[in-house]
Structures are given as structure tokens and as C-alpha cells.
Amino acid sequence: MTTPDLPDWYALLPSALDLKMGFEPIELSAERVVGRMPVTGNTQPLGLWHGGASGVLIETLGSIGANLHAGEGYVAVGVDLNATHHRTARSGWVTGTATALRLGRTVATYEVVLVDDDGQRVCTGRLTCQVVPDRR
């Protein structure tokens, strides 16, 4: 899979954690964000995809979408994250799709579905972000 040409503004978004975990963006919009992470390097001691890696992927995808929605002069910060783990992955990639459930003036909520290379659901998550003025 090749990474798409990314807009210039995306250069400001990746965090050190995203880079460390091997996050690769695939599709970026406020309504839908798709990206993936390799299983290798993101496992727990038994060699299985780590549930915390699911949390990171959910938070990364939803936060990108929410920040795109927030617009200039605002940022979106996570206020609620939940995840239900359905199965594990042992190799390959876990791909996530964040779909906006609500894009309001002050709150953005995403449902995030993570699947393995066979399209089997690994995890279902939800992220809610608060939109606040950017005071950096």
C-alpha cells in the first residue's frame, strides 16, 4: 500500500507516538479518517496486537478528524475514549476507519472500526473531542 499525497498541513499533525508506532495515514477528512499501524512492534508479551495500540489508533484517527473539523484558531482535545476488543491480530496491519457521528460547534465524536488484513473486526471504539480555542 502506498501512502497518499498528503496536504501540507498534515506535516504539523503527526506526534512522536504516531511515528514510533508506525502510523500511516490513508484518507483524511473531517467526516472520515483512515489509517493503519503494523502489528509488528505494537504487541503485548504474547506476541498479539496490544489493546493499548488499538487505543492509540482510535485516538489518532479521531483526533485528526476532529482537528480538521475544528478549523483555524481552534484545536480538538480528547475527552472520552472507549474501546471494545473483539479479536486479536498476530501479523500484518490493523487498519482503522473513523467516521464522524457528530460534528458540532464544541464537540466532535467519532466511531472507529479497526480491522485486520482479512477485514475481520479487531476493535470498535469511540472518541469524543472538545473543540477549544488554540492558545499555543
Say if 128 falls within a structural domain. Answer: yes
Domain count, the chain: 1
Average pLDDT score over the chain:
92
Say if 91 falls within a structural domain. Answer: yes
Longest dimension (CA), the chain: 44
Cite the active site residues: 59
Residue 29: CATH number of its domain: 3.10.129.10
CA nearest neighbour of 53 among 121, 114, 117, 135: 114
pTM: 0.92
Q: What is the pLDDT of residues 103-124, one digit of tens each?
A: 999 999 999 999 999 999 999 9
Say if 58 falls within a structural domain. Answer: yes
Say if 2 falls within a structural domain. Answer: no
Say if 42 falls within a structural domain. Answer: yes
Structural domain boundaries enclosing 89: 8-133
Say if 115 falls within a structural domain. Answer: yes
Q: What is the pLDDT of residues 1-45, one digit of tens each?
A: 555 566 666 666 668 899 899 999 999 999 999 999 999 999 999
Q: Would you place residue 73 in the very low, low, confident or very high pLDDT band (cuts 50, 70, 90)?
A: very high
Going from the C-alpha of 44 to that of each of 21, 25, 52, 94, 121, the distances in angstroms are 13, 23, 9, 15, 19
Say if 66 falls within a structural domain. Answer: yes
pLDDT at 16: 87
Say if 1 falls within a structural domain. Answer: no
Strand bridging mode 107-115 / 121-133 = antiparallel
